[in-house]
DNA sequence: TGCCAAGACCTGACATTAAG
DNA sequence: CTTAATGTCAGGTCTTGGCA
């Protein structure tokens, strides 16, 4: 029987793993890495980075980190990929700063923890894992609180770096962020490159190239990804939704097409997925 | 940074089938 | 009967190599 969290639409939590991440990079999600022990090498764009014990890495996902799967891989790490929406439940508690501010402002950032911070961090990660693994729904709220704790931990450690970080990101990255923002606003409608061209005042040819260069995926790959992710969320939260409802809500005009895309991306048909989500509650 | 052209791929329409 | 999955096809859009 599959674990209920396997299809949990908001987050993937991999605790104390000694293997490199094999799931494809998802630039729609924020990523967190923590190295418990050992060392590992990652490619980040044109650069290579080495992480070791006590390193905590946060990234907004736009520029992916790819593990170098060399024989030298000797590392125990926790990986946490989550949808920014996961933090939206905390919004009412905030007046000013988003709990995701370090991810947004620092984009890709490593923090080397002190021994005291290592103890704190590992304690939080262990708690998150405990609640993540629990099947009972009551634990979900405790999972969220532990997640909130982690975000606050990250925010405290990132304060100085955020004050010193350049306010304006690289031109290309800013444009990619604009494209992503555009998709976020309009993915439930028809989206065309012409619209983006008009919005960003840049040629569609250049936009598609820039997007691929920065994210490793094409604009429409991203759009499909975003729509299917939203479909999964709708199935998760509104158990009474029909496949047809969800299909139109996420921007598809054709059920057959939606069904095909969903199956290709998720590995099961929308109806199958919907039934699994219903069975969980 | 932008354009063109060609091929790849996506999308939507429609038909058919299956399950409840 | 309704809902959903799957197959086929035509038309349209996206992606990308090559070039300026």
Query: Over 70: is that where the pLDDT of A23 sits?
Result: no
> In this structure, is the CB of residue A206 within 7 Å of any atom belonging to strand C?
no
Number of H helices, E strands in chain A: 10, 7
Asked whether A113 and A52 are in contact (CB, 8 A), the reply is no
> Token pair for residue A49?
């980075």
Cβ A278 to strand C below 7 Å: no
Structural domain boundaries in chain A: 10-164, 170-280
* Cα A110 to Cα A54, A56, A103, A123, A231, distances in angstroms: 10, 6, 11, 19, 33
pLDDT tens digits for range A109-136: 888 999 999 999 999 999 999 988 877 7
Tens digit of each residue's pLDDT (9 = 90 or more) over A137-190: 778 888 888 999 999 999 999 888 877 765 545 677 778 888 888 888 888 888
Verify if strand C has an atom below 7 Å from the CB of A271.
yes
HSE-CB at A118 with a 13 A cutoff on CA atoms is: 12
Tell me what the mean pLDDT of segment A213-218 comes to. Answer: 80
A242 touches strand C (CB under 7 A): yes
CB within 7 A of strand C (chain A, 85-124): none
Domain at A10-164, CATH homologous superfamily: Regulatory protein AraC (2.60.120.280)
- Residue A183 CA distance to nucleotide B1 C1' (Å): 23
pLDDT score for A246: 86
Measured distance CA(A242)–CA(A265) in Å, rounded: 19
In 3D space, the residue among A281, A267, A268 whose CA is nearest the CA of residue A237 turns out to be: A281
Flag whether pLDDT at A261 surpasses 90.
no
Residue with tokens 């967190």: A32
CATH number of A170-280: 1.10.10.60
Q: Of residues 224 to 243 in chain A, which lie within 7 A of strand B by their beta carbon?
A: 224
What's the rounded mean pLDDT across residues A27-35? 86
């Amino acid at each position: 029987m599959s674990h209920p969290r396997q299809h949990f639409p908001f987050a993937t939590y991999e605790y104390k793993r000694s293997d490199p991440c094999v799931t494809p990079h998802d630039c729609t999600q924020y990523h967190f890495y923590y190295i418990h022990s050992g060392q590992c090498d990652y490619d980040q764009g044109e650069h290579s980075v080495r992480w070791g014990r006590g390193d905590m890495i946060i990234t907004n996902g736009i520029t992916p980190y790819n593990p170098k799967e060399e024989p030298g891989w000797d590392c125990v790490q926790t990986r946490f990929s989550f949808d920014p929406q996961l933090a939206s439940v905390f919004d009412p508690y905030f007046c000013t700063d988003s709990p995701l501010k370090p991810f947004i402002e620092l984009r890709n950032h490593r923090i080397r923890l002190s021994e005291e911070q290592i103890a704190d961090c590992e304690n939080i990660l262990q708690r998150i894992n405990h609640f993540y693994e629990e099947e009972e729904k009551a634990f979900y709220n405790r999972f969220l609180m532990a997640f909130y704790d982690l975000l606050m931990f990250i925010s405290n450690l990132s304060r100085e770096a955020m004050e010193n970080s350049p306010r304006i990101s690289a031109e290309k990255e800013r444009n990619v962020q604009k494209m992503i923002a555009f998709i976020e606003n309009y993915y439930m409608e028809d989206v065309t490159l012409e619209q983006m061209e008009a919005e960003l005042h840049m040629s569609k040819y250049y936009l598609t190239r820039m997007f691929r260069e920065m994210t490793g995926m094409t604009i429409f790959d991203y759009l499909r990804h975003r729509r299917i992710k939203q479909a999964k969320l709708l199935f998760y939260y509104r158990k009474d939704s029909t496949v047809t409802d969800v299909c139109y809500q996420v921007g598809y005009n054709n059920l057959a097409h939606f069904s095909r895309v969903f199956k290709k991306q998720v590995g099961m048909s929308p109806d199958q997925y919907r039934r699994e989500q219903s069975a969980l509650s």
